[in-house]
Structure 1
Amino acid sequence: MRGDARLVLLVRNAVEAASGDDGWAHLTAVGNQIGNQASLDPRNYGYQKLSDLIEG
């Protein structure tokens, strides 16, 4: 993921938009934000799920 600046920016913006007052964001909310911003399929990056992509 680090090699793809667009992907990093997309995830970072989604986390910021989905985070609560404590600064944490649930992955489901992050996924929803990403879905609102762009079409992202983790399988295009070699992962089955968004959580695997984030962990990777």
Structure 2
Amino acid sequence: MAKLRIELVKSIIGRKPNHIATAKSLGLKKMNDVREHNVTPELMGKIAQISYLIKVEEVQ
């Protein structure tokens, strides 16, 4: 199964409450936090919602 490495590169301070909740649901609490997740449709929707806050890389 494919994995993605997601890094929070912009601060969540002052963002919309649902975008903050989405970042926290991905395990991203502070800038430069990195988490790896398996690719699912739910994950791709979350990534699309906060794409302006994160950097996404595919993990081999």
Q: What TM-score does the superposition give when structure 2 sets the normalisation length?
A: 0.33
More strand by share: 2
Q: Which has the higher helix share?
A: 1
If asked which structure has higher relative contact order (CA below 8 Å, sep 6+), I would say 2
